[in-house]
């Protein structure tokens, strides 16, 4: 099968490309390297079934050609990370809305099945945890730029479902919850790799806010298995799925756990949100997925515990 991955040089995209190649598929990727890296895919470039283009999903001519030449599409390209969204609000909105509009248009033109990756940010600051796919959303003011990401991805979901309902385009939507693992960068605000890297270097481990906010971390290998499983299941078409892990930990507990596992002398420091991001920044206290729906559809069950994940990320950074 010929598969196109947008954002394929990114963290999740590169792992997905790796797995699909192992399964004997031909894989093409497009990435503008805004958050992706060539080093993520350097080990794949000698594979005759792999090719890549450094370009933007805003380039309609390139996208049209690549979609026409594939069988199915995994759309992972997006402006991601709280820090990146706040520092590049206009480009982030254009990429996340116009880019998705482009890929859906061409997927429909050539009738290609497509998976759209969305985000747990969709749920906003709702406290109705664990989050179910049909839950209401609760967002803050448009003056707070972090909510632009949630809104843009919600528009992506509306567009995707509209193509499915009106044009009968086969689509799957996946809301990812804090996917982590080897090759992930902490450069754009991803907390776990940032903590591990700073701990190993002896730099301060910086917690934004009071650290009582909790998250669930899913290993990229589990997430990739879920993405491929959903794309292989006809019953998943036209549906939205949470994908992640349900093992919850506070950010403060995570910092101390990483410090202990790395035998680090790093100090743990606390920085107010306003100083870390922008005035009036809002965060959600808990973010826990209900994964019943994906379990019932494809038998998804995370294999990696948080301890497993941390060991894998620590070994990656040590190397």
Res 88 pLDDT > 90:
no
Q: For residue 233, which of 304, 191, 174, 315 has the smallest C-alpha distance?
A: 174
Res 276: pLDDT: 64
Catalytic residue among 52, 149, 241, 277: 149
Tokens read off for 301: 């069950």
> Between 306-318 and 251-261, two packed helices, what is the crossing angle to 10 degrees?
50
Q: How far apart are CA 251 and CA 181, in angstroms?
A: 17
Residue 278 lies in a domain: no
Res 89: pLDDT: 84
pLDDT tens-digit profile of 151-165? 999 999 999 999 999
Q: How many helices (H) and strands (E) does the chain have?
A: 12, 14
Tokens read off for 105: 């248009």
Confidence band, pLDDT 50/70/90 cuts, at residue 34: confident
Catalytic residue status for 149: yes
Using alpha carbons only, how large is the chain's radius of gyration in Å? 19
Res 44: pLDDT: 98
pLDDT tens-digit profile of 100-117? 999 999 999 999 999 999
Res 187: pLDDT: 67
Q: CATH code at 169?
A: 3.40.50.720
Q: What is the mean pLDDT of residues 22-46?
A: 96
CA distances 269 to 156, 208, 238, Å, are 37, 9, 45
Element (H, E) at 4: strand 2-6
Q: How far apart are CA 57 and CA 65, in angstroms?
A: 12
Res 81 pLDDT > 80:
no
Res 91: pLDDT: 86
CA distances 241 to 32, 230, 311, Å, are 27, 9, 28
Q: How is the chain split among helix, strand and coil, in percent rounded to 5?
A: 45, 20, 35
- Mean pLDDT, the chain, rounded, equals 94
Res 35: pLDDT: 86
- What angle is formed at CA 173 by the lines to CA 168 and CA 179, rounded to 5 degrees? 160
Peptide bond into 120 cis (omega under 30): no
Confidence band, pLDDT 50/70/90 cuts, at residue 278: low
Q: Is 248 left (phi over 0), alpha (psi -120 to 50) or beta?
A: beta
Residue 103 lies in a domain: yes
Q: 243 near 223, Cβ under 8 Å?
A: yes
Res 285 pLDDT > 90:
no
Residue 174 lies in a domain: yes
Q: How far apart are CA 41 and CA 10, in angstroms?
A: 9
**Considering only 138-142, 169-173, 259-263, which range has the smallest mean pLDDT?**
138-142
Q: Which residues pair with 63 in a beta bridge?
A: none
pLDDT tens-digit profile of 187-225? 655 899 999 999 999 999 999 989 999 999 999 999 999
pLDDT tens-digit profile of 232-253? 999 999 999 999 999 999 999 9
Res 275 pLDDT > 90:
no
- Specify the number of domains making up the chain: 1
Residue 282 lies in a domain: no
Going by their DSSP bridges, the two strands 2-6 and 72-75 should be labelled as parallel
Domain span holding position 41: 2-180+218-245+288-303
**Considering only 119-128, 161-170, 276-285, 297-306, which range has the smallest mean pLDDT?**
276-285
Q: What is the mean pLDDT of residues 299-317?
A: 96
Res 80 pLDDT > 90:
no
Res 144: pLDDT: 81
Q: For residue 109, which of 158, 51, 70 has the smallest C-alpha distance?
A: 70
Residue 165 lies in a domain: yes
Residue 231 lies in a domain: yes
In a 13 Å sphere around the CA of 237, the CA atoms on its Cβ side amount to: 15
Residue 17 lies in a domain: yes
Residue 201 lies in a domain: no
Q: 77 near 95, Cβ under 8 Å?
A: yes
Res 248: pLDDT: 96
Confidence band, pLDDT 50/70/90 cuts, at residue 280: low
> Between 306-318 and 191-201, two packed helices, what is the crossing angle to 10 degrees?
50
Q: What is the mean pLDDT of residues 170-198?
A: 90
Res 279 pLDDT > 80:
no
């Amino acid at each position: 099968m010929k598969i196109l991955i947008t954002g394929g040089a990114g963290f999740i995209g590169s792992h997905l490309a790796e797995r699909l190649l192992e399964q004997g598929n031909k894989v093409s990727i497009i990435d503008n390297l805004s958050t992706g890296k060539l080093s993520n895919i350097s080990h794949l470039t000698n594979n005759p079934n792999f090719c890549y283009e450094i370009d933007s999903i805003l380039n309609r001519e390139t996208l049209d050609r690549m979609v026409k030449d594939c069988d199915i599409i995994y759309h992972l390209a997006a402006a991601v990370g709280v820090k990146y969204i706040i520092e590049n609000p206009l480009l982030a909105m254009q990429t996340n809305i116009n880019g998705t509009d482009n890929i859906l248009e061409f997927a429909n033109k050539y009738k290609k099945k497509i998976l759209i990756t969305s985000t747990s940010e969709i749920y906003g600051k709702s406290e109705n945890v664990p989050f179910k796919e049909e839950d209401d959303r609760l967002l803050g003011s448009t003056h707070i730029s972090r909510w632009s990401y949630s809104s843009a991805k919600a528009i992506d979901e509306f567009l995707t479902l509209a193509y499915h309902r009106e044009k009968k385009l086969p689509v799957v939507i996946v809301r990812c919850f804090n996917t982590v693992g080897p090759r992930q960068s902490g450069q754009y605000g991803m907390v776990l790799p940032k903590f591990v890297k700073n701990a190993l270097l002896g730099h301060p481990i910086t917690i934004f806010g009071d650290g009582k906010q909790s998250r669930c971390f899913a290993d990229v290998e589990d997430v990739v298995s879920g993405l491929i499983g959903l794309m292989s299941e006809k019953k998943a078409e036209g549906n939205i799925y949470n994908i992640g892990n349900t093992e919850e930990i506070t950010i403060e507990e995570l910092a101390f756990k990483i410090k202990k596992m790395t035998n680090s002398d790093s100090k743990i420091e606390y920085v107010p949100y306003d100083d870390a991001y922008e005035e009036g920044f809002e965060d959600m206290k808990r973010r826990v997925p209900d994964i019943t729906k994906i379990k019932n559809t494809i038998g998804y069950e995370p294999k990696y515990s948080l301890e497993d994940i941390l060991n894998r990320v620590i070994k990656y950074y040590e190397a």
